[in-house]
Amino acid sequence: MLIEADELVELFKGYLPYYLLIVLPIFIIISPVCPVGAAHEFPVYRMQQYDLHGIPHGCRSAAVSLEARSVSGWGTSRHCVIARLEELTVDRFREIRARAGALLIVLPRDLPARPDQEKQQILELEETMLSQDVNIPVYFLQWSPNLQQILEDVDTSFPCSTPCPPMATRSSWAPTNQQPGLTTIIKRMVCCILQGKLPGYGVEEKLPTIALVAHYDSFGVAPELAMGADSNGSGVAMLMELARLFSQLYSSSKTHARHNIVFVLSAMGKLNYLGSKKWLEDQLDGGDGGLIQDASFVLCLDTLASSDGLYLHVSKPPKEGSPGAHFLKLKSVSETMSPSVAVEGVHKKINLAEEVLAWEHERYSIRRLPAFTLSSLKRATIQDLVETVDIDLLARNTHILVESLARHIYNLSAVHIFSSDYLVPKRSESLLSNS
């Protein structure tokens, strides 16, 4: 027996490696399993996940290691559906959410140029996706030529009988900056609010105060893809420009108005305006709310660079003769400066039973402050890209607003207070909004 064992060992040492070099390639060639043709790495963006007032929203899972299938070719929870964004409808998404194992959504390369009907479909899909919790992993990918080839391969594969199915594995579909797995809850959110003030000429506590507010958050179904160029990059750009213009006027004793102006950049605007809520609590409940407590009005700026019209949203119309009512005559200013601009007032009562407030000014109206929002009526979405912002509209709307505020503060009418020397060049405003 020992002799036979020694002979077997010698056989392994001698000829077996050469046999393996010949036999293994043959086994690989005749094997029914297809070898991998190529490996590609793509950055992916996970779907939004958050809890608001204890109610879960968005994607609850992260790990993906499943067979890839097309929208029309998947069938079980063992399949990862790879779909073009334009292929998804609300009903199709609900079916995938209930029965599939994961969903990868490929964004079109020319998203801003899509037809209006398709954009509306995407808006409805985003709203549906974020209105409830989604138990399967959902990721978004930017279009690329390699990804297009994979999509075509998946489209031509059969649902179950193909011998060489494309695979979506943990390594090939993992986010570039995140390892798929269990998600970690951020228990303590940092709310950073920036506040500035231009004190009026005279005793500060005895002067009327105007507050200008804009939230600086972006929001969309995939956080890293939400640029927030219009909502609310345009509002922030306008607020910064207003601060620059009025600081020039207030720096001279001849044009130093008898009004305090407070500028607020609030956080968490897309989470039910919790930043404004916290700021109001600190100001009014903390004993420091002298200025804001007696504010003439609060003006919130939201989405102002992609629509030709302007809308003033109010929860309670101000009383006739009040400072708020005086400012609401913005329409007369726009008719003088830009007759083509349609300015409309929109009255909507606050519904405290709703989970999310419609506009930021409602946070201030709840605390019995006269407030309204100036907007061009566009909701937050991943379609809100820099390419969709019209810098000419932003510059024009800024000019109309700053003239309206100046006429109210200085109690003037039919006078152009800001000449072209004061106004910021459009190129500079473009850089500000893009940043």
Chain segment 108-128, per-residue pLDDT in tens: 988 878 887 888 888 889 889
Nearest residue to 86 (alpha-carbon basis) of 122, 60, 124: 122
Phi, psi of 7 (to 5 degrees): -65, -40
Q: Which one is the CATH code of 194-434: 3.50.50.60, 3.40.630.10, 3.40.50.720, 3.90.1150.10?
A: 3.40.630.10
Q: Which residues of the chain have pLDDT under 50?
A: 160-181, 378, 427-428, 431-432
Give one word for 133, left, alpha or beta, with left for phi > 0 and alpha for psi -120 to 50.
beta
Tens digits of residue pLDDT in 197-235: 999 999 998 999 999 999 998 888 888 888 888 888 899
What's the pLDDT score for residue 214? 97
Report residue 275 as tokens.
């930043």
What is the overall mean pLDDT for the chain?
81
In this prediction the pTM is: 0.80
Which token pair is 45?
A: 């963006």
Which long-range contacts does 317-320 make (Cβ < 8 Å, 24+ apart)?
317/345, 317/347, 318/370
Give the integer Cα–Cα distance in Å for 135 and 400: 47
For CATH 3.40.630.10, the residue range(s) in the chain are 194-434
